[in-house]
Structure formats: structure tokens, C-alpha cells
């Protein structure tokens, strides 16, 4: 099977996570924000599955399933929120979401 | 260099490339398409790691279900560029990118220890079948992690209820509920 160090897989995981985090912080529309959130979760999943493979233990794979459960719930609720936001504001620009004066 | 290593490095480069394009393309539909490619490539990486069932679930659930939901909402909203805002003009974009890459380098240096630079061990038979197969994963899931399994079911049920509550509107009340105050809506709610 594949014979690369675990570090390379962790580098890949960190890279995907950091791209997702950068995208999350620089995007201005709500849909791209949720997409970058999925990218961050995918980067974490790579680390889980890699450690599961390293220790020949299924716990990482099971955490992968829990993470995709949370990702599915989060995307469904987030998209419903975006649809409500679009229904009220007629756009999805995040700088218009200032009702709380944050 | 054997074939699996070549495959791993090409998959890793393509995953990073598609992740960068997800984060940097301006339109949401382009981001979603590159994210679908990223999920397929990640599924290929999981096959290389030996987790076959996880790879199938990645394609079915992530690329199949979640991304179809995203693309459906993007096509339903049918936004023009004026409605999702221009990406230019953020003053902290380069600062955020710099801090992101700095974080990546620091984390990578943190794990680049000699112990973690050893090769992955060969896949061996575990107690419940080959690593990564459905038998092995489901035995461990239903024996050791059954509470996590139940809580995942509860989370899915709560998300279902929450999305139902968020999406539900009485059709005659809807037009007024947005534009008038809440007290008017409450007064008129019973009559209509």
C-alpha cells in the first residue's frame, strides 16, 4: 500500500484547512462562506482518516462519519438561513447583515 | 518511486489546487464546482489510504447530497454579481492570506518531527476484518461508539426540525410580515 509519511498527509490537511479559513475570512457573500466552511471540515476529515490509517484503528473513520453528519446539518440550516436572508434583503451580501450592529 | 507515491503526490497537488480555487474564485457557483472536484479527489486519496467505505461515503454524501443542496440553492437564488457583492476592495485580504499561509507553515513545522516522518505501516487484519471495510467500521461503530451514533441521529432530527421551522411561512401573512411591524403581524395572523 501507500508508503508516505503521516506528515505529508497532515501537510495536506493543514493546507486545505488554511485555504478554507482564508476563504472564510475574505469572502463577502454568504454562500461562499458556507462553501469554505465545508472545505475546512474536509481538511479536518483528511487528518482524521490519516490518523485512523496510521494506528490501524477505526475511531478516526467513525469521527469522519460524525463530522459529515454535522456538516450536512450545518449546510442545511445555513442554506435555510440564507434563503430567509435573501427573502428579506433581496441579496446575500454580508455587509447588509448588520441588524445587530456588530 | 512507486506508483502509489506518484498517485499520492498528484492527488495532493490537485487537492490543494482545487482548494485554492474554491477559496479564491469570485462566483459561488464556481466555488461549488471546484469543491465537488475537491471532494472527488479526496475520495481518491481515501482509497489510497485504504479506507474504502469512507471514500464511497465521501462521494455519496459530500459530493452527492451536500453539494447538490448547495448548487440547488445557488441556482434557485439566481444571483447576479451586484447581489453577491464584489470581492475587490477588502482591505484585509492580503493580511488574511499572509496569516493563513503563516499558520500553515507553523503547523507544518510543528508536525515535521522525525517520529512522524516515518512511513505508514502496512495494513493488517484487525479483529473485525480488514481495515476500512464496512464490517470493520460498523463493528467498531456499534460496539464502542454507539452513543455517538445515537447523538448523530438526534442532531439530524434537530436539523430537520430547525430547517422546517426556518422555511415555514403562512403564505397570506408572508408579504405583510416582512414589511410591517411584528405587532401588526400578530394581530392579523389569526384573521388571515
Block means of pLDDT (10 residues each) for chain B, length 192 residues? 86 94 88 94 91 92 91 87 64 83 89 79 66 86 92 95 87 60 52 46
Q: Which residue segments constitute the domains of chain A, with CATH numbers given?
A: 7-90 (1.10.287.3510)
Q: Is the pLDDT of residue A102 over 90?
A: no
Give SS3 for A16: helix
- Interchain CB distance below 8 Å, A58 and B141: yes
Chain A residue at shortest CA distance from B112:
A7
Of B14, B116, B145, nearest in space to B6 by CA:
B14
The pLDDT assigned to A47 comes to 93
**What pLDDT score was predicted for residue B191?**
47
The closest CB to that of A7, out of B4, B117, B124, belongs to: B117
Would you call A2 and B65 a contact, using CB atoms and an 8 Å cutoff? no
Average pLDDT over every residue of A79-83: 91
Q: What is the pLDDT of residue A74?
A: 93
On chain B, the residues whose CB falls within 8 A of the CB of A50 are 49
pTM to 2 decimal places: 0.85
| Largest Cα span, chain B | 76
Cell 479564491 found at:
B24
What does residue B131 show for φ and ψ, rounded to 5 degrees?
Answer: -60, 135
Higher per-residue pLDDT: A71 or B50:
A71
Q: How far apart are CA B138 and CA B126, in angstroms?
A: 13
CB B63 within 8 A of CB B36: yes
Give the pLDDT confidence score for residue B116 in this predicted structure. 76
Predicted local confidence at residue A46, as pLDDT: 94
Phi, psi of A91 (to 5 degrees): -160, 175
Beta bridge partners of B27: none
Nearest to B5 among A4, A16, A77 (CB): A4
Nearest chain B CA: its distance from A102 CA (Å):
18
Q: Quick check: A98 contacting B, CB < 8 Å?
A: no
Residues of A whose CB is below 8 A from B1: none
* Nearest Cβ partner for B23 among A36, A74, A94: A36
Whether residue A62 lies within 8 A of chain B, CB to CB, comes out as: yes
Q: How many CB atoms are located within 10 Å of the residue B141 CB?
A: 19
> Is A50 touching B (CB cutoff 8 A)?
yes
- pLDDT given at position B114: 81
ipTM here: 0.92
Give Rg (Cα) of chain B: 24
Cα angle vertex B47, ends A31, B140, to 5°?
Answer: 90
Q: Is A43 on the interface with B (CB under 8 A)?
A: yes
User: pLDDT tens across A11-66, in order?
Assistant: 999 999 999 999 998 888 889 999 999 999 999 999 999 998 888 888 899 999 99
Neighbour-count burial for B99-111, b at 16+ CB within 10 Å, e otherwise: ebeeebeebbeeb
Cβ contacts of B19 within 8 Å, gap of 6 or more: A15, A16, A19, A20, A39, A43, B38
Q: Is B51 exposed, middle or buried (0-12, 13-18, 19+ CB in 10 A)?
A: buried
Which three cell numbers, joined as nine digits, stand for B69?
443542496
Distance, C-alpha B98 to centroid of its chain: 24
Residue A93 contacts B where some CB pair is shorter than 8 Å: yes
Query: DSSP state, B114?
Result: T
How many Å apart are CA B172 and CA A81, to the nearest integer? 21
A41-79 exposure pattern, b = at least 16 Cβ within 10 A, e = fewer: bbbbbbbbbbbbbbebebbbbbbbbbbbbebbbbbbbbb
Q: Please, are residues B70 and A92 in contact by the beta-carbon 8 Å criterion?
A: no
Chain A interface, mutation test: which of B69, B73, B123, most A Cβ atoms within 10 Å? Answer: B73
Q: How far is CA B93 from CA B36, B37, B104, B110, in A?
A: 25, 25, 17, 26
| Chain A: closest CA distance from residue B95 (Å) | 10
Element at B130 (helix H, strand E): strand B129-130
**Quick count: other Cβ atoms within 10 Å of Cβ B115?**
9
Amino acid at each position: 500500500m501507500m508508503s508516505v509519511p503521516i506528515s505529508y498527509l497532515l501537510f495536506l490537511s493543514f493546507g486545505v484547512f488554511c485555504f478554507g479559513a482564508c476563504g472564510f475570512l475574505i469572502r463577502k457573500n454568504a454562500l461562499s462562506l458556507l462553501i469554505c466552511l465545508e472545505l475546512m471540515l474536509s481538511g479536518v476529515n483528511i487528518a482524521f482518516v490519516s490518523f485512523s490509517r496510521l494506528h490501524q484503528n477505526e475511531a478516526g473513520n467513525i469521527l469522519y462519519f460524525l463530522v459529515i453528519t454535522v456538516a450536512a446539518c450545518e449546510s442545511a440550516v445555513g442554506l435555510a438561513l440564507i434563503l430567509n436572508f435573501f427573502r428579506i434583503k433581496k441579496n446575500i451580501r454580508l455587509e447588509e447583515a448588520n441588524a445587530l450592529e456588530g | 518511486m512507486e506508483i502509489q507515491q506518484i498517485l499520492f503526490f498528484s492527488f495532493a497537488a490537485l487537492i490543494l489546487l482545487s482548494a485554492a480555487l474554491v477559496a479564491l474564485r469570485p462566483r459561488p457557483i464556481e466555488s461549488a464546482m471546484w469543491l465537488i472536484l475537491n471532494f472527488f479527489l479526496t475520495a481518491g486519496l481515501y482509497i489510497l489510504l485504504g479506507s474504502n467505505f469512507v471514500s464511497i461515503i465521501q462521494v455519496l454524501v459530500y459530493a452527492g447530497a451536500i453539494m447538490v443542496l448547495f448548487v440547488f440553492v445557488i441556482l434557485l437564488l439566481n444571483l447576479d454579481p451586484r447581489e453577491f457583492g464584489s470581492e475587490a476592495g477588502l482591505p484585509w485580504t492580503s493580511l488574511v492570506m499572509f496569516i493563513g499561509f503563516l499558520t500553515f507553515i507553523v503547523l507544518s513545522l510543528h508536525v515535521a518531527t522525525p517520529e512522524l516522518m516515518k512511513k505508514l505501516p502496512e495494513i493488517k487484519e484487525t479483529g473485525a476484518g480488514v481495515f476500512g471495510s464496512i464490517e470493520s467500521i460498523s463493528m467498531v461503530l456499534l460496539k464502542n461508539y454507539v452513543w455517538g451514533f445515537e447523538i448523530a441521529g438526534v442532531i439530524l432530527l434537530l436539523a430537520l426540525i430547525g430547517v422546517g421551522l426556518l422555511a415555514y411561512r403562512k403564505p397570506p401573512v408572508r408579504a405583510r410580515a416582512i414589511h410591517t411591524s411584528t405587532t401588526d403581524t400578530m394581530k392579523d395572523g389569526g384573521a388571515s
